[in-house]
Amino acid sequence: TADALLQHPWITGVVSSVPLKTAVQELKRFNARRKFKAAVKTVQATASLLGRARTRGSSLAVDNTV
């Protein structure tokens, strides 16, 4: 109802009990973890593709003489 809506914290302006600094730190930690997981998945996918290329004797196999 409209009365219930007017009592909602977003409307009444009741602030969160979590300090903004803490929320920002948690968001940074979340994003760092997400980026790390994406990097791990990229390495895993690359290793898988290179392994498949080597087993097939493909000319796409990477030369490891660096």
pTM, to two decimals: 0.56
23 or 61, greater pLDDT: 23
Rounded to whole angstroms, how far apart are CA atoms 56 and 58?
5
**Sequence ranges of the domains in the chain:** 16-66
Residue 63: the pLDDT is 60
Residue 18: the pLDDT is 66
Residue 65: the pLDDT is 60
C-alpha dist (Å) from residue 38 to 10, 47, 49: 34, 14, 16
Rounded to whole angstroms, how far apart are CA atoms 46 and 50?
6
21 contacts 29 by C-beta, under 8 angstroms: no
Q: What is the pLDDT of residues 28-57, one digit of tens each?
A: 999 999 999 999 999 999 999 998 888 876
